[in-house]
Amino acid sequence: MPAEAVDVYDELPDAVLVVDAHGTVTSANPAAVRLLGEVAGLPFTELRVCDAEGREWWGCEAAARAMAGVRAVPERRLVLPGERAVLLTARYVRSGGRFDHAVLALRDTRARERMERQHADLISTVAHELRSPLTSVKGFTATMLARWDRFGDEQKKQMLEWINNDADRVTRLLAELLDVSRIDSGRVELHTQVVDLAALGHKIVAGRVASGEPVDRFAIVEDGVPPELWLDPDKIEQVLGNLVENALRHGAGAVRLTIVAHPDGAEVLVDDEGEGVDPAVAPRIFSKFYRGKASRGGTGLGLYIVRGMVEAHGGTVAVESGPGGGARFRFRLPAGAPPHPA
In angstroms, the CA 309 to CA 7 distance is 40
What's the gap between Cα 280 and its chain centre? 22
Residue 315 contacts which entry, ligand ATP, Mg ion, none (Cβ below 5-8 A, type-dependent): none
In angstroms, the CA 119 to CA 132 distance is 21
The H or E element containing residue 99 is: strand 98-108
Total chain residues near ligand ATP (CB under 6 A): 20
How far is CA 275 from each of CA 218, 270, 272, 297, rounded to the nearest angstrom? 18, 14, 9, 18
Total chain residues near Mg ion (CB under 5 A): 3
The per-type count for the chain, helices as H runs and strands as E runs, is 9, 12
Neighbours of 220 (CB within 10 A): 17
Told to check if 298 binds ligand ATP by CB under 6 A, we report yes
Per-residue mark of binding to Mg ion, 280-319 (x: CB under 5 A): ------------------x---x-----------------
- Classify residue 50 by its DSSP letter: B
In angstroms, the CA 269 to CA 286 distance is 16
Closer to ligand ATP by Cβ: residue 15 or 183: 183
**Near ligand ATP by CB under 6 A: residue from 133, 233, 251, 315:** 251
H helix intervals, 228-324? 233-249, 302-312
Told to check if 233 binds Mg ion by CB under 5 A, we report no
**Near ligand ATP by CB under 6 A: residue from 198, 241, 291, 316:** 291
Sole window of 6-14, 67-75, 137-145, 271-279 interacting with ligand ATP (rule: CB under 6 A) = 271-279
**Near ligand ATP by CB under 6 A: residue from 217, 235, 250, 330:** 250
**Strand 98-108 relative to strand 218-223, pairing:** unpaired
Told to check if 133 binds ligand ATP by CB under 6 A, we report no
What's the closest the beta carbon of residue 255 comes to ligand ATP, in angstroms? 9
How far is CA 143 from each of CA 57, 146, 154, rounded to the nearest angstrom? 60, 5, 15
**Near ligand ATP by CB under 6 A: residue from 133, 226, 233, 274:** 274
How far is CA 78 from each of CA 44, 85, 137, rounded to the nearest angstrom? 14, 6, 47
Told to check if 336 binds Mg ion by CB under 5 A, we report no
Closer to Mg ion by Cβ: residue 274 or 302: 302
Beta bridge partners of 19: 25, 102
Site residues for ligand ATP, window 306-335 (CB under 6 A)? 327
Closer to ligand ATP by Cβ: residue 298 or 336: 298
What's the closest the beta carbon of residue 147 comes to ligand ATP, in angstroms? 33
Q: Which amino acid is at 273?
A: E
**Near Mg ion by CB under 5 A: residue from 102, 180, 218, 246:** 246
Beta bridge partners of 77: 87
Sole window of 20-28, 49-57, 215-223, 302-310 interacting with ligand ATP (rule: CB under 6 A) = 302-310
Q: Which residues bind ligand ATP (CB under 6 A)?
A: 242, 246-247, 250-251, 272, 274, 277, 285, 290-292, 298-304, 327
Q: Which residues bind Mg ion (CB under 5 A)?
A: 246, 298, 302
